[in-house]
Amino acid sequence: MPHYYSQGQVPHKRHTQFRKPDGGLYSEQLFSTEGFSNDYSLLYHIHPPTVIIGNDTPVDVRPKVAEERMLKHRCFEGFNLKPVQDYLQSRVPVLVNNDCHISLAAPMQSMTDSFFKNADADEIIFIHEGTGILHTQYGQLSFAYGDYLVIPRGCIYQIHFDTPDNRLFIVESFSPVVPPKRYLSKYGQLLEHSPYCERDIRTPQLVQPIDASGDFLIHTKKKGMMYGIHYGHHPFDVVGWDGCCYPFALSIHDFEPITGRVHQPPPVHQTFDAHNFVICSFVPRLYDYHPQAIPAPYNHSNIDSDEVLYYVDGDFMSRKNVTRGMITLHPAGIPHGPHPGAVEKSIGKKDTQELAVMVDTFHPLQLTEAALALENDGYVMSWAE
Q: Which residues are annotated as a binding site for homogentisate?
A: 336
Do 319 and 330 meet the contact criterion of CB atoms below 8 Å apart? no
Burial call 244-277: b when 16+ CB within 10 Å, e when fewer: ebbbbbbbbebbeeeeeeebeebeebbbbbbebb
Q: Give the whole-angstrom CA distance, residue 257 versus residue 321.
A: 25
Cα diameter, the chain: 76
Strand 115-118 to 213-222 pairing: parallel
Do 63 and 101 meet the contact criterion of CB atoms below 8 Å apart? yes
Q: What are the residues whose beta carbons fall under 8 Å from the beta carbon of 201, sequence distance 6 or more?
A: 1, 248, 249, 250
Q: Give the whole-angstrom CA distance, residue 128 versus residue 351.
A: 22
Burial status of residue 145 (CB atoms within 10 A of its CB: 0-12, 13-18, 19 or more):
middle
- Please indicate whether residue 263 is annotated as part of the active site: yes
Q: Give the whole-angstrom CA distance, residue 238 versus residue 64.
A: 38
Q: Give the whole-angstrom CA distance, residue 279 versus residue 286.
A: 21
Mapped onto helix, strand or coil, the DSSP state of residue 222 is strand
Nearest CA to 91 out of 159, 156, 148 is that of 159
Distance of CA 12 to the CA centre of its chain: 34
Count of C-beta atoms within a 10 Å radius of residue 146: 20
Mapped onto helix, strand or coil, the DSSP state of residue 164 is coil
Q: Of 73, 230, 263, 275, which residue is the catalytic one?
A: 263
Q: Give the whole-angstrom CA distance, residue 86 versus residue 105.
A: 10
Name the helix (H) or strand (E) containing 369.
Answer: helix 369-373
Catalytic residue positions, numbered: 263
